[in-house]
Amino acid sequence: MSEPSYVCGRTDSPLFYRTVGDVLRLAAEQWPDREALVVCHQQVRLTYAGLYERAKELAMAMLALGLQPGDRVGIWSPNNSEWVLTQFATAQAGLILVNINPAYRTVELDYALRAVGCRALVLAPSFKSSDYVAMMRSLLPQGDWAGGDGVRSGKYPSLEFLIQLGGDLRQGFMSFDALCEAGRTADPSSLEAVEGHLDPDQPINIQFTSGTTGLPKGATLTHFNIVNNGFFVGEGMRFGPQDRLCIPVPLYHCFGMVLGVLAAVTHGATMVFPSEAFDAEAALRAVATERCTALHGVPTMFIAELDHPRFREFDLSSLRTGIMAGAPCPIAVMRRVIDEMHMREVTICYGMTETSPVSFQSGVEDPIDKRVSTVGRVHPHVQVKIIDAEGAVVPRGSPGELCTRGYCVMRGYWEDPERSAEAVDAAGWMHTGDLAVLDEDGYCNIVGRVKDMIIRGGENIYPREIEEFLYRHPKVLDVAVVGIADRKYGEEVCAVIRLREGASADAQEIVEFCRGQIAHYKVPRYVHFAREFPMTVTGKVQKYLIRQQLEQELGVERARTA
Ligand code: AMP
């Protein structure tokens, strides 16, 4: 009989019982003069000693404002040095960092601020088409400005501080730079007192993820979750202080702040940020000029780099490793990354926010066919089982839902015990909603999703959320949002709409309705109209049939993936 689909990772290297702040302090003690942070678009360079000092000053300033351990501090900004400083400063002060996607617009920001009761929000003034300050102001009626640099609002009872990264200050906003400046002369005793009581099991980070149930949920992660995941991801790439990691992926996601920042800091490696948001040429230039040894990206980013017209002009010979993750990784792209980008030790990671995030990673010495066609083997200290619809473990080689257990499983969804219990069962298993197959040697293949989430260029899009929004359109009777295969983004958003009796509308009208209201990447690329949806006997829309039919009509194919 075949073995059951259950695996447990190696345990020869112990888990660290450390806080995120400890990790930076230890790095500063061990590698004080090594470069920690390079931010190309800001011309910022900090050593480990420098990064530690700056983060400590910011932590002291935040405590001096009156913020208390356990308070939530949102950050709504593209990648920059301030983001990394805020990540460490909040952790040192025991504050819970709340990552807010820079593509969010007012509806989503409003939800995020309320859902977790942020007491402070660190925000960039603007980025691309998003004027963050104007959006924040539009959420607060006139009378809500407390005068000076504070906020008082019945709408957001917890919110007090809006901390702006550069730009002209409007009423109610305070300057991040001034706060850092104040930290230089702040009394260190309050930070020392707080640090003395920090516990690695305390929540330190909330990231929004929607699952299948519509509105985003705040996955709550502890120091212990992300310190260890970052460390073992770095181990998986054989990281050391000589490594220089190019991070073009966003910091608001685990890919940036755990697989990027914490993997580097736990190994004394250098973090190199090429740009505020992904830009293929900036990433290639950063690798070449900073002599990076590692490069991260979702598959679409690697495709954009490989296909860039100036690709051949950049010397990428310093590259050795890096991570491709976040969405199914096409085998052909993996081969090109190894051959043309010199990333002979590139690894694939699989995971999800709720598991801090990584649970599978291919090893640098795994056979080449396994390295390009699977997500590797289970991570140290992590257990995984694959189950059928009844919850029974399936034999090796059979598909089923992947469940994860161990140190990496989140604390739960913020103040939502019901949905936490739906995701993590009484035995501690996180039900991922992903369909996977484990082979006899423990290599894993992700074959689909139980839930019908769309992944567009590495961004997770939850059809239900867009459907909920489109239901607000007066002419929309029913709507099904599905992901359609796309060569560039992996998937594109398609909304299929049933209009109300007698109503007429065109695709343009629907797209206009979404623009500026929901994040740009959620605005449907395709809008189709239908009289009926294919339904199951129990009344559920059969999205896979809609998807198949549309893909056929559009003549698009799904890429073969790991
Ligand atoms: P997130 O919570 O944003 O990290 O998204 C997690 C989801 O991304 C997983 O549940 C998977 O569906 C998908 N995912 C992440 N990495 C991979 C991968 N290497 N291959 C296939 N799907 C992946």
Model confidence pLDDT, tens digit, residues 159-179: 999 999 998 998 889 999 999
Q: Give the mean model confidence (pLDDT) for residues 274-278.
A: 96
pLDDT at 161 (0 to 100): 96
Residue 301 confidence (pLDDT) above 80: yes
Give the Cα separation of 98 and 257 in Å (integer): 12
Distance 410 CA to ligand 1 centre (A): 16
Distance 259 CA to ligand 1 centre (A): 14
The answer for residues whose C-beta is within 8 angstroms of residue 143's C-beta and 6 or more apart is none
Residue 12 pLDDT > 80:
yes
pLDDT of amino acid 536 = 55
The CA distance from 494 to 561, in Å, is 22
CA dihedral 50, 53, 54, 57 (to 10 degrees): -170
Indicate which residue's Cα is closest to atom 5 of ligand 1.
Answer: 352
7-11, 124-128, 146-150, 471-475: the lowest-pLDDT one: 146-150
Instruction: Answer yes or no: is pLDDT of 237 > 80.
Output: yes
**H or E element that contains 332:** helix 331-340
Higher-confidence residue: 102 or 556? 102
Contact 264, 242 (CB under 8 A): no
Enumerate residues 6+ apart whose C-beta is below 8 A from 418.
Answer: none
Which protein residue's CA is at the shortest distance from atom 21 of ligand 1? 328
Q: Which of these, 296, 243, 293, lies nearest to 265 by C-alpha position?
A: 243
Per-residue pLDDT, 146? 66
**Rounded to the nearest 5 degrees, what angle is found at the Cα of 167, between the Cα atoms of 171 and 156?**
40
| Average pLDDT of the chain, as a whole number | 93
Please compute the mean of the pLDDT values over residues 231-251 and round it to a whole number.
98
Tally the C-alpha atoms within 13 A of residue 3's C-alpha that lie toward its C-beta: 10
- Structure confidence at residue 467 as a pLDDT band (50, 70, 90): confident
Residue 343 pLDDT > 50: yes
Q: Give the three-state DSSP class for 143.
A: helix
- The residue ranges of DSSP E strands in 247-399, in sequence order, are 270-273, 294-297, 321-324, 345-351, 358-361, 377-378, 382-387
Q: Which atom of ligand 1 is nearest to the CA of 453?
A: 12
Distance 80 CA to ligand 1 centre (A): 25
**Alpha carbon distance 155, 136 (integer Å):** 12
What mean pLDDT comes out for the span 319-327? Answer: 93
Res. 211 pLDDT band, cuts 50 70 90? very low
- pLDDT bucket at 1, cuts 50 / 70 / 90: low
Q: Which amino acid is at 505?
A: A
In DSSP terms, 203 is beta-bridged to 222
Residue 361 Cα to ligand 1 middle (Å):
12
Contacts of 370 (CB under 8 A, 6+ apart): 362, 376, 441, 443
| Residue whose CA is at the smallest distance from ligand 1 atom 23 | 327
pLDDT at 212 over 50: no
Phi then psi dihedrals of residue 153, to 5 deg = -150, 130
Average the pLDDT over 242-249 and give the result: 98
Q: Whose CA is nearest to atom 15 of ligand 1?
A: 326
Q: How confident is the model at residue 143 (pLDDT cuts 50, 70, 90)?
A: low
pLDDT surpassing 50 at residue 213: no
Candidate ranges 141-150, 324-333, 433-442; pick with highest mean pLDDT: 433-442
Omega within 30 of 0 (cis) for the link into 357: yes
**Pocket perturbation via mutation, ligand 1, pick of 352, 372, 401 by most ligand atoms within 8 A of CB:** 352
Q: Which atom of ligand 1 is nearest to the CA of 349?
A: 19
Pick the atom of ligand 1 nearest to 562's CA: 20
Distances (CA, A) of 115 to 112, 159, 217, 220, 356: 5, 12, 8, 12, 20
pLDDT of residue 144: 74
Ligand 1, atom 12, lies closest to the CA of 434
Q: Which residues are near ligand 1 (CB < 6 Å)?
A: 209, 254, 325-329, 348, 350, 352-353, 357, 375, 432, 434, 446, 449, 455, 460
Residue of 253, 446, 521 with the most ligand 1 atoms within 8 Å of its CB, for mutation: 446
Of ligand 1's listed atoms, the one at least distance from the Cα of 209 is 2
CA of 336 from ligand 1 middle (Å) equals: 21
* pLDDT, position 232: 98
Residue with CA closest to ligand 1 atom 7: 352
> Does 148 have pLDDT greater than 70?
no
- Between the CA of 170 and the centroid of ligand 1 the distance, in Å, is 40
Average pLDDT for residues 8-30, to the nearest whole number?
97
Cα(182) to centroid(ligand 1), Å: 41
Beta strands 270-273 and 244-246 are parallel
In CATH terms, the fold of domain 454-554 is GMP Synthetase; Chain A, domain 3 (3.30.300)
- Start-to-end CA span in the chain (Å): 26
The Å distance, Cα 165 to ligand 1 centre, comes to 31
Ranges of beta strands (E only) in 10-52 are 35-39, 44-47
At residue 262, does pLDDT exceed 90? Answer: yes
Position 62 confidence tier, pLDDT thresholds 50, 70, 90: very high
Distances from the Cα of 236 to the Cαs of 214, 241, 323, 368, in angstroms?
34, 15, 10, 16
pLDDT for residue 505 is more than 60:
yes
User: Which alpha helices (H) appear in 246-330, and where do they start and end?
Assistant: 254-256, 263-265, 280-290, 299-306
The separation between CA 338 and the C-alpha centre of its own chain, rounded to angstroms, equals 25
Q: Whose CA is nearest to atom 1 of ligand 1?
A: 352
Which atom of ligand 1 is nearest the CA belonging to 253?
3
Distance, CA 147 to ligand 1 centroid (Å)? 45
> Of 365, 358, 398, which Cα lies nearest the Cα of 381?
358
Cα–ligand 1 centroid distance for 326 (angstroms): 5
Q: Tell which one of 354, 386, 434, 447 to mutate to probe ligand 1, the residue whose CB is within 8 A of the most ligand atoms.
A: 434
**CA of residue 460 to ligand 1 center, whole Å:** 8
Do the Cβ atoms of 176 and 165 come closer than 8 Å? yes
Mean pLDDT to the nearest integer, 356-377: 94
- pLDDT per residue over 393-439, tens digit each? 999 999 889 999 999 999 999 999 999 999 999 999 999 988 899 99
